Amino acid sequence: MCQHTPRCPSADSPDREAAHVVAAYPQQGWSLLCNALVLFDDTGELLPDGQIIAPHRPLAAATA
């Protein structure tokens, strides 16, 4: 999906969340990144292959 330079990280790379947002739905709590990753406001992720990454926000932010 990524058409710009430099290319965004792939969905299976550790820095996958650094990809550009191509569609944002803040009222629904999610964004689609150009590497086909769905990123949720709670920091959970849905990879293009259907794999789920559990929310991983820092503990300090979760208790604040």
- Work out the percent of the chain whose per-residue pLDDT is above 90: 72
Indicate if the pLDDT at residue 27 is higher than 80.
Answer: yes
Chain centroid to CA 40: how far? 7
Query: Is the whole-model pTM more than 0.85?
Result: no
What are the sequence ranges of the domains in the chain?
1-10+20-51
The token duo for 48 is: 């293009």
- DSSP E strand stretches across the chain: 21-25, 30-33, 38-40, 45-46, 52-53
Is residue 3 scored above 80 in pLDDT?
Answer: no
CB 19 within 8 A of CB 10: no
Kindly give, in sequence order, each residue whose CB lies less than 8 Å from that of residue 41, ignoring residues fewer than 6 positions away: 26, 29, 30
